């Protein structure tokens, strides 16, 4: 029987879809390339890294040169990592958010070596943004033979990787605001969505959050910005303690919902609070959706987004270090990423081994 593994399941690789001048990153390209370079370094030091880009030669030259000298020598990717742990795939892309356009990989408990590469439809978060190229990346990758797995066309159903969390045991954690949002899967209602997740992912139960939001979010409330499984009995969540903050009421209602949820054996989840970053604004004064919940669990590390806020950054890293005692928690400055309304987890997709 197939199942969607938890993020902490052993991984074979992590995907990045590289920014370029043809994306909305054009005006911030130098800064976002530096962020992606550091993500590439931290990933390739530990696991195989798959980079998808229209011009892979250009990306390879950037990585080998330390972005043509912009990255200090002691922070550059080592030649061994470049040679042995980074592979490239060339195809057209609209944007960089691999979490939402990349495969969701299921496993088969009857055959541990079998991987099912599930290609769900990505439509730019409810047709807000162009996604014609991004929605074809998976089929191109499958045809290339680069990935080990059985391709499964699920493009009659819209499902973004950032919209669901799995505990690997049949529990899916999600938000009503996203999965029931317009231009996703109408006319399916909540019951219809649950049945679809049961049929496709063998989900045994769905935990729906009805509350929680981040100002500036354009995904309709992806769960990976709000609350995350750390293990089968632990959920890390974004906490707001400032009554004057616009998030205070909704995030506290979300906390109460999380407190009401139970594990399969009927016990309350152990909840781990992550601080809400101090507000970050764009040039027009709009608040951006910075969140420490957007971390990536890897085999031997957790990559945690930071926002050049020493106190909050340290609190988030400390909280995650106390949960992931078997992994190194590494901060990566992702301040630039929130200027396109995403962060670290949104930029990556893991492939289970």
The whole-number pLDDT of residue 331 equals 98
The whole-number pLDDT of residue 90 equals 98
Q: How far is CA 199 from CA 151, 170, 179, 185, 222, in A?
A: 17, 12, 16, 15, 22
The whole-number pLDDT of residue 113 equals 87
| 202 vs 264: CA distance, rounded Å | 15
Are 224 and 345 in contact by the 8 Å Cβ rule? The answer is: yes
Count the Cβ atoms, other than its own, within 10 Å of residue 130. Answer: 13
Residues in the chain with pLDDT values less than 50: none
pTM of the model: 0.97
The whole-number pLDDT of residue 178 equals 98
The whole-number pLDDT of residue 79 equals 84
- Positive or negative: CA dihedral 83, 86, 92, 95: negative
The whole-number pLDDT of residue 261 equals 98
List of residues 6+ apart from 143 with CB closer than 8 A: none
Tokens of 116: 């099912």
Q: Which position has the token pair 């030091």?
A: 45
The whole-number pLDDT of residue 81 equals 80
- Cα 245 to chain center, whole Å? 25
The whole-number pLDDT of residue 83 equals 84
Query: What confidence tens digit (pLDDT) does each residue in 137-162 have?
Result: 999 999 999 999 999 999 999 999 99
Which option is the CATH number for 2-348: 3.40.50.300, 3.75.10.10, 2.60.40.1840, 1.10.150.20?
Answer: 3.75.10.10
The whole-number pLDDT of residue 8 equals 98
The whole-number pLDDT of residue 84 equals 86
Reduced 3-state DSSP string for the chain: CEECCCCCCCEEEEEEECCCCCCCCHHHHHHHHHHHHHHHHHHHCCCEEEEEECCHHHHHHHHHCHHHHCCCHHHCCCHHHHHHHEEEEECCCCCCCHHHHCCEEEEECCEEEEEEEEEEECCHHHHCCCCCCHHHHHHHHHHHCCCCCEEEEEEEEECCHHHEEECCCCEEEEEHHHHCCCCCCCCCCHHHHHHHHHHHHCCCEEEEECCCCCCCCCCCCCHHHCEEEEECCEEEEEECCCCCCCCHHHHHHHHHHHHHCECCCCCECEEEEEECCCCCECCCCCECCCCCCCCEECCCEEEEEECCCHHHHHHHHHHHHHHCCCCEEEEEECHHHHHHCCCCHHHEEEEEC
Q: What are the sequence ranges of the domains in the chain?
A: 2-348
Query: What confidence tens digit (pLDDT) does each residue in 292-348 have?
Result: 999 999 999 999 999 999 999 999 999 999 999 999 999 999 999 999 999 999 999
The whole-number pLDDT of residue 32 equals 98
């Amino acid at each position: 029987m197939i199942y969607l593994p938890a993020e902490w399941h052993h991984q074979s690789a992590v995907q990045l879809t590289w920014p370029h001048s043809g994306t909305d990153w054009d005006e911030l390209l130098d800064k976002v390339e530096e962020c992606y370079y550091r993500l590439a370094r931290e990933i390739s030091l530990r696991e195989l890294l798959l980079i998808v880009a229209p011009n892979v030669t250009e990306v390879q030259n950037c990585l080998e040169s330390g972005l043509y000298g912009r990255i200090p020598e002691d922070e550059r990717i080592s030649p061994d990592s470049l040679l042995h742990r980074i592979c490239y795939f060339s195809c057209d892309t609209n944007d960089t958010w691999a979490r939402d356009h990349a495969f969701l990989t299921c496993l088969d408990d009857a055959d541990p070596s079998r991987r099912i590469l599930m290609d769900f439809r990505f439509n730019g978060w409810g047709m807000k943004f162009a996604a014609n190229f991004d929605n074809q990346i998976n089929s191109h990758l499958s045809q290339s033979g680069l990935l080990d797995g059985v391709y499964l066309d699920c493009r009659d159903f819209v499902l973004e990787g950032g919209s669901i969390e799995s505990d690997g045991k049949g529990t899916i954690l999600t938000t009503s605001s996203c999965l029931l949002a317009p231009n996703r899967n109408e006319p399916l209602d909540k019951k219809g969505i649950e049945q679809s997740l049961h049929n496709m992912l063998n989900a045994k139960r769905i935990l729906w959050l009805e509350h929680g939001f981040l100002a500036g979010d354009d995904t309709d409330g992806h769960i990976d910005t709000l609350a995350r499984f750390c293990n089968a009995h632990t959920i890390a969540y974004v906490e707001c303690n400032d009554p004057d903050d616009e998030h205070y009421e909704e995030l506290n209602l979300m906390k109460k919902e999380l407190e009401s949820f139970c594990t399969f054996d009927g016990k309350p989840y152990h909840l781990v609070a992550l601080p809400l970053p101090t507000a970050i604004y764009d040039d027009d004064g709009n608040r951006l959706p910075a969140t420490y919940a957007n971390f990536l669990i890897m085999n031997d590390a957790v990559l945690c987004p930071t926002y050049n806020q020493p106190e909050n950054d340290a609190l988030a890293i400390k909280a995650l270090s106390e949960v992931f005692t078997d992994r190194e928690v590494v901060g990566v400055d992702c301040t630039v990423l929130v200027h396109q309304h995403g962060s670290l987890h949104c930029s990556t997709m893991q492939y289970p081994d």
